Structure 1
């Protein structure tokens, strides 16, 4: 049996080093030389295992964002559709979204996307996919909810959750998080109420 490939291991090593570098030095300051040094490799190794600068940035984005999307899906799996909405709120405003070093990397990449059309499209693809997944979760739990309505609410939930995470380092009262989570739950409850089947008045109509 041949020796197993080290590609996955080396890529992970490089991407962890890239994340540390971007969190500390920003995207512009994270040259391939600096990332290679942090990974204990040469620049040629970085190019061999990950690729050029654009490919490295794309891989770094996937490295930091994919675990959040995957854990959200895991939190919703194996639940009845109606039970997925409270689970979704719990996830978006729970400890899984607590601020950590990943946020520094994500924010640096989003900031870099302001001047990089290619990166902007890459990041948009990820968030629009998240929006669609949340919209699908909403429509499965709320029969009669249309695509446009569910996507609008999905976008609002994403903005609320990620905005709250961004402001977490500021000394707002602890009640702000609970209040934001309660507001998200109220928005979903209002949607469910708006699409609840009205009581049948067939009998009343027949008696008139």
Structure 2
């Protein structure tokens, strides 16, 4: 029951963040959206900071499931890059992207949240680096896979932001081609 109630509260919080932005969502708002008293929020979640951290954990889990579901357990770099530059990844989705963006900005003021979000990106970089090593077992030591993966993740993340702004899909295709060249060492 506690796990279900906590998830209900976190989901309501995330929906409110998408609707209004993080700064304007109070615990009273979350209680009303969850259909519970504010004291129930305090009982299950503690304070607002804990609720923010649990919301981040939920989003990270959802993004991880999306990626793993799309590319499998031991993907090569090509599969990961294809997904990171796909319409599925870059589509203008209010949820969870808007909530993630709000939490990303909050991380500038919250070191623990910043560490949690960085950890999520570290996992993405590690997954891509493993794919690069799988595709390029002869990768020279002076070109570490993690460095290449980091560059590709930066390119993919900024491409997603640019696509949400309405830049032409051809630009995304060019960015994807560049990412593939980076991964291949061309």
> How much is the aligned-residue C-alpha RMSD, in angstroms?
2.1
Q: Contact (CA 8 Å) 1:131, 1:158: kept in 2 or not? A: yes
- Per-residue deviation, residues 73-125 of structure 1 (Å, max 9, x unmatched): 2333366x6xx222111211113312312111111111111112222122112
Equivalents in 2 of 1:160, 1:32: separation in Å? 37
Match of 1:74 in 2: 69
SS for the counterpart of 1:28 is helix
Indicate whether 1:36 and 2:28 are aligned.
no
Q: Contact (CA 8 Å) 1:99, 1:166: kept in 2 or not? A: no
What pairs up with 1:148-163 in 2 under 5 angstroms? Answer: 149-163=144-158
Q: Contact (CA 8 Å) 2:9, 2:41: kept in 1 or not? A: yes
Match of 1:56 in 2: 51
Q: Contact (CA 8 Å) 2:149, 2:183: kept in 1 or not? A: no
Match of 2:131 in 1: 137
Which consecutive unaligned segments of at least 5 residues does structure 2 have?
none
Equivalenced residue count is 183
Match of 1:127 in 2: 121
Which consecutive unaligned segments of at least 5 residues does structure 1 have?
1-5, 194-208
Equivalents in 1 of 2:82, 2:113: separation in Å? 30
The higher relative CO (CA closer than 8 Å, separation ≥ 6) is in: 2
Q: How far off its partner does 1:147 sit?
A: 8.7
Indicate whether 1:89 and 2:84 are aligned.
no
Match of 2:161 in 1: 166
What pairs up with 1:92-131 in 2 under 5 angstroms? Answer: 92-97=84-89, 98-101=91-94, 102-131=96-125
Q: Contact (CA 8 Å) 1:139, 1:147: kept in 2 or not? A: no
Match of 1:23 in 2: 18
Equivalents in 2 of 1:45, 1:104: separation in Å? 26
Equivalents in 2 of 1:161, 1:87: separation in Å? 13
- Per-residue deviation, residues 109-168 of structure 1 (Å, max 9, x unmatched): 111111122221221122122212221221122113249621111111211222122222
TM-score by length of structure 2 reads 0.86
Q: How far off its partner does 1:66 sit?
A: 1.6
